[in-house]
Amino acid sequence: MSRKVNFYPGPTALPLSVLEEAQREFVDYQGLGLSLVETSHRSAEYDAVHTRAAELIRELLGVPKGYHVLFLGGGATLQFAMVPMNLLSGGRFCDFTLTGAWASKAYEDAQKLGRVEVLFDGSASKYTTLPSSLSAHADAAYCHITSNETIGGVQWQDFPETGSVPLVADMSSDFLSRRVPVERFGLIYAGAQKNMGPAGATVVVIREDLLEQSADNLPAYLSYTTHSKSNSLYNTPPVFSVYMIKLVLEWLKGSGGLDAMERRNVEKASLLYRAIDESGGFYRCPVDPRVRSHMNVVFRLPSDDLEKRFITESEEAGMLGLKGHRSVGGCRASIYNATEIGGVRTLADFMAAFARKNG
């Protein structure tokens, strides 16, 4: 079997060794005589997987004491609502940064649930840059950022200083891709399907004091307290996704952890940005070089026709997922943890050859 090079924005590439291990033990999980996905989520077998996955997130990300790690369903999208539902009780308000399509979706939901102050609105510059600093309101319940905009390709390289105002981050598309100072965040959330595993689980890392402020009149599933009290086993968790997350985290640990992953991700991104910047203007990246994403490299070609041809020919050459998001067009290479550097080199070489032929 020849596997393609995977540049999909998510769901996306998983390490081949993880897929093979899951395949080996899918039908008979470690001699149990059942698949893990046919087994009760209350069984000792699942419990061991669930506990280990949370431990590995703590260890790899460097989660300090006083934070809880939760596995929830509903995607990162549910967190757009759960964060304000839990943290804006008692008429409080939050600060927001509008940095692209995902921040805007989170903002729309937050607005339905409480008052939101916008600290930065990037729409005027078509979401191609980020502010160098923020002035959070001292009495805001939290300040929301999107650490990496998957569609627009902007990424906070340094996190903003917000004083005593807890930073809340949607890290869906760069979670576990680099070191982050977790102690500066009140809450981090991330859907699994970019750097962690198949879709299904969303990880929430929440500081205890925010958990304690949580609204107490929420339906059970929508309350963080419910999930922290029951170790994310209040209801049936997304067992397959959590199982795969555990395998991916073991792979991540064996590959040198977040420092090694960050070095590798920077190297991969540099290959592509170099291919763009050295193309004599054939490729253009609209993003401010200061905040170019190391996960989603967006670029344009001189015309729609050339972009179409680029996608077709890249597919013929074995590279999938390079079409930009339907809302913005253009091209995008998503290069998460499991995308190998060899695949990225293949793309950089393809880009140079395509520019020579069509420039």
Question: Given the rule CB under 6 A, which residues bind ligand PMP?
Answer: 10, 75-77, 102, 146, 150, 170, 172-173, 191
Which residue, 6 or 213, is less far from ligand PMP as judged by CB? 6
Active site residue 251: no
Name the DSSP letter for residue 124: G
Q: Which of 102, 109, 246, 323 is an active site residue?
A: 102
Q: Which residue minimizes CB distance to ligand PMP?
A: 75
Which residue, 86 or 193, is less far from ligand PMP as judged by CB? 193
> Closest distance between ligand PMP and the C-beta of residue 359, in Å?
32
Q: Which of 95, 109, 156, 170 is an active site residue?
A: 170
Instruction: Give the Cα separation of 6 and 13 in Å (integer).
Output: 6
Which residue, 173 or 337, is less far from ligand PMP as judged by CB? 173
> Closest distance between ligand PMP and the C-beta of residue 121, in Å?
18
Residue 71: which of 187, 218, 281, 228 has the closest Cα?
228
The distance from CA 289 to its chain's CA centroid, rounded to whole angstroms, is: 21
Instruction: Give the Cα separation of 182 and 168 in Å (integer).
Output: 11
> Closest distance between ligand PMP and the C-beta of residue 106, in Å?
7
> Closest distance between ligand PMP and the C-beta of residue 357, in Å?
33
Peptide bond into 289 cis (omega under 30): no
Q: Which of 95, 109, 194, 268 is an active site residue?
A: 194
Contact, 152 vs 100, CB < 8 A?
Answer: yes
Instruction: Give the Cα separation of 359 and 355 in Å (integer).
Output: 5
Contact, 135 vs 169, CB < 8 A?
Answer: no
Which residue, 321 or 354, is less far from ligand PMP as judged by CB? 321
Active site residue 170: yes
Instruction: Give the Cα separation of 146 and 103 in Å (integer).
Output: 6
Q: What is the DSSP string of 192-208?
A: STTTTSSTT-EEEEEEH
> Closest distance between ligand PMP and the C-beta of residue 279, in Å?
27
Active site residue 102: yes
Look at the block and give the residue holding tokens 């977040």. Answer: 258
Specify the 3-state DSSP secondary structure of 140: coil
**Catalytic machinery residues:** 102, 170, 194
